[in-house]
Amino acid sequence: MDLGLQDRVAVVTAASKGLGRASAEALAAEGAKVVICARGGDALEETAVAIRAAGGEARAVVADITEPENPAALVRLAVETYGRLDIVVGNAGGPPPGRALEVGDDVLEAAVQANLLTSIRLVREAVPHLRAQQWGRICLITSVTVRQPSPVLAASNTARAGLWAWAKTAAADLFEEGITVNLACPGTHDTDRVRQLGHGGGRLGDPADFGKVVAFLCSEPAGFVSGIAMGVDGATVAGLL
């Protein structure tokens, strides 16, 4: 299937490893030019080198996307470098574990900053460029916990559920302008984050496969797919919705 991504320009945040990296690699493999960012310079440059070695095009920027000014700077750089912006993949590291009555204000505020406001800022900065061409794809990487909260990830549950509510309303606002907004909701994949949380046992998803799901949600054929939270979780969600 031709995903229609040749020469599209994508911004992918927190892309030095894990699911962010897999998403950037999948988009680049389909012909998109990717601008990637992360806090760790060595791992980020390694990702960019790997994308180029596979025949893709990548620009790497060391930046902490949770800093309020950085989403605008990243969008501006993408447009200055490639002359346009078509795709936004928002991603950020998850907050530490903790049960609902154990997490303090500081943890909740940090979670909202990283896993809610960061993506909103990124989308707001990107939308004028997407509107100008009446085409755009926004995919926000969240977690399966937006549909089935984890009892030990209360801060993550709170921030990500808020992002899902915001994205659902933004999707309706933008659809008639050719812009889609979707969530990609991973379960347990073979990433550093999953291992840190102690979920190493059992079958784990392949980040490369997850990246291809993101690429599809950002594709031309997915133009009528908007306002969904796509679970990529190996049938772990028990609910019907």
3-state SS, 145-177, equals HHCCCCCCEHHHHHHHHHHHHHHHHHHHHHHHH
Q: Is the pLDDT of residue 32 over 90?
A: yes
DSSP symbol at 144? G
Among 46-60, 163-177, 184-198, 216-230, where is mean pLDDT lowest? 184-198
* Amino acid occupying residue 3: L
Kindly state whether residue 96 falls inside one of the protein's structural domains.
yes
Consecutive H or E run containing 44 = helix 41-53
Q: Domain of 90?
A: 9-232
Kindly state whether residue 38 falls inside one of the protein's structural domains.
yes
Please tell me which residue, 87 or 192, carries the higher pLDDT value.
Answer: 87
pTM attached to this predicted model: 0.95
CATH number of residue 75's parent domain: 3.40.50.720
Kindly state whether residue 4 falls inside one of the protein's structural domains.
no
pLDDT at 151: 96
pLDDT at 200: 58
Q: Is the pLDDT of residue 57 over 90?
A: yes
Kindly state whether residue 1 falls inside one of the protein's structural domains.
no
Total number of domains in the chain: 1
In the predicted model, what is the mean pLDDT of residues 174-198?
88
Kindly state whether residue 241 falls inside one of the protein's structural domains.
no
